[in-house]
Amino acid sequence: MNSFLSTSTARDLPLIFNGQGQQRPQLESILFEITIETSTCETAFADIQYVSWIPGEEEILITIGAIFRIDSSIAQSGIEGDTIESLETMQRSLELHIASLPPGHPSIADMYDVIAWTHLRHGNVVDAQKAFETSIELRLNATYFNSVHLGHTYIGLGILLGGDEGMSYLDKAHCLFKEHLPQNNSKFIQLYMSKAEIHITKSEIQQAQSYLADALKIEQLKRSRPGKGTAHIFTLFGMSYLHEDKAEMALKVLDVYHPGLAKIYAFRTGSAYYNKKQLDKALAYYQMALELTITVAPGNLKQIERIRYGIDRIMDHTLDVN
């Protein structure tokens, strides 16, 4: 490490500050567990809890030049600490920040951001909006604020609000990012995908695909091989193709990058063709939906039964005609 490293003996606190997965799929939140052999360690570290402005953080400070070895890593399927109980811990931490730090300190706004994203993931839209708006107000009224952090808060509020109002906040974030970040910075990826999603909902497909192309360009520059970010971008491409009635192209993309979504749209597309009496196409999409469902969700027997019923209807109709 080329700087002092702030750590804590209270496990729930770093879970609050690790981003809670809010920049997935581009960036991942990681919790490091550090074991120090006190009998042999020659690197200086200190418990500064009793001289800290915020004693409740139980902070251990590790000196410059520390070298670490990674013994193991464990992937979590969800976001550890992203629970209702963790929200209560975050609220207590926020209260400590407000009581201990000067008014307008950026860490207070950061805490409101973390709380807002967590509320949003739990579907608490009203609480999330209040927290995002409070964070924005604190940052704008502060003597100094980090423009990139403010932009990220604008993105959160833009995603939450959607539509024209949401796009206005995404535009504000775009202006800040263009002014303060290199044009290929990975933070643009989430911004472009968020803009694309709003354009898709408004059936503005050309604009959506333009932003997705820009996001994909940066994603491919930053990563040596496709990851979750690439899959998310192509999933949005697939959704945009569906809005253009390019069902075959959409399902081809979704089958690779989001098979769960592909099976839903394959079934819907088959039903649409059935209603139009285009039975050959309806049968092809029902069969695709059946294959995808058996592969992705073999336990979803009710859906499998529905698809087979659709296939049987087409086959019976074909036999009647013949």
Q: Which two tokens stand for residue 178?
A: 């263009």
Q: Which two tokens stand for residue 201?
A: 């909902």
Q: What is the full DSSP assignment across 108-175?
A: HHHHHHHHHHHHHHTT-HHHHHHHHHHHHHHHHHSSS--HHHHHHHHHHHHHHH-HHHHHHHHHHHHH
Distance CA 267, CA 288 (A): 8
pLDDT reported for residue 190: 92
Does residue 72 lie in a domain region? no
The domain tally of the chain equals 1
Does residue 301 lie in a domain region? yes
Q: What values do phi and psi take at 38, rounded to 5?
A: -65, -25
Residue 59, helix vs strand vs coil: strand
Contact 234, 257 (CB under 8 A): yes
Q: Which two tokens stand for residue 182?
A: 């290199």
pLDDT reported for residue 256: 72
Does residue 15 lie in a domain region? no
pLDDT reported for residue 289: 84
CATH number of the structural domain spanning residue 263: 1.25.40
pLDDT reported for residue 75: 64
Task: Work out the end-to-end distance of the chain between its first and last CA atoms, rounded to an integer number of angstroms.
Answer: 76
Bridge partners (DSSP) of residue 62 are 5, 45
Contact 264, 300 (CB under 8 A): no
Does residue 150 lie in a domain region? no
Does residue 113 lie in a domain region? no
Amino acid identity for residue 196 in this structure:
A
Does residue 73 lie in a domain region? no
Residue 75, helix vs strand vs coil: coil
Distance CA 5, CA 3 (A): 6
Reported as a single tens digit per residue, the pLDDT across 173-219 is 999 999 999 989 988 999 999 999 999 999 899 999 999 999 999 98
The bridge status of strand 5-8 relative to strand 59-62 is antiparallel
Q: What is the pTM for the complete model shown? A: 0.65
Residue 46, helix vs strand vs coil: strand
Helix (H) or strand (E) holding 213: helix 205-222
Measured at the CA of 118, the angle between CA 115 and CA 122, to 5 degrees, comes to 135
Residues of the chain with pLDDT under 70: 1-2, 10-28, 50, 52-57, 74-86, 224-227, 261, 318-322
Cis omega before residue 226 (within 30°)? no
pLDDT reported for residue 24: 59
Q: Where do we find the tokens 């609050």?
A: 16
Does residue 292 lie in a domain region? yes
pLDDT reported for residue 85: 58
Q: What is the full DSSP assignment across 233-264?
A: HHHHHHHHHHHTT-HHHHHHHHHHH-HHHHHH
Contact 228, 75 (CB under 8 A): no
Domain, as residue range, for 286 = 258-322
Reported as a single tens digit per residue, the pLDDT across 246-288 is 777 777 777 777 777 677 777 777 777 787 788 888 888 888 8
Does residue 221 lie in a domain region? no
Q: Where do we find the tokens 């990563």?
A: 223
β-sheet with 5-8: strand ranges across? 5-8, 59-62, 45-47
